[in-house]
Amino acid sequence: MPCIFCEIGAGRVPADIVYSSPEVTAFRDINAQAPTHLLIIPNRHLVSIADLRPEDAPLLANLVSVANELARREGIADTGYRIVTNCGLNGGQTVPHLHLHLMGGRSMGWPPG
């Protein structure tokens, strides 16, 4: 089975893409949990944040700065937002390709479930 997020990043599976660059793709979550719910992925396959090595620091910085830029574009920067990445079974990760969730447009509870 090909990785669904690799396929979206490569343009072989459709998604509501909101940002695309050689390194990073962002698209709307198919099951949005907030008025704005975007997923930001590296185009290169990494299973989770646990796969990041010290030399991947620029990639992580790029993912976060794309998320921040998209928060501005979505109009949620001033009211605040959440960036989260789930890692592994107990982290609640369901798609084994590293992704940041950018969520906003409503008030979030803490701690999450």
Chain residues that interact with Zn ion, rule: CB under 5 A: 3, 5-6, 45, 97
Question: Buried (b) or exposed (e) across 38-70, using 16+ Cβ within 10 A?
Answer: bbbbbbeebebbeeeeeebeebeebbeebbeeb
CA distance 15 to 9: 9
Candidate list 75, 92, 106, 108; residue touching ligand 5GP; CB under 6 A: 92
Closest to ligand 5GP by CB, 41 or 76: 41
Annotated catalytic residue, options 37, 45, 97, 99: 99
Tell me the C-alpha distance between 47 and 18, whole Å: 22
To the query of whether residue 99 is one of the catalytic residues in this protein, the response is yes
Could you tell me which of 9, 27, 10 has the C-alpha nearest to residue 18? 27
Instruction: Fill in the per-residue mask, 23 to 62: x = in contact with ligand 5GP (CB under 6 A), - = not in contact.
Output: ----xxxxx-------x-----------------------
Cβ-based nearer residue to Zn ion, 96 or 105: 96
Catalytic residues: 99
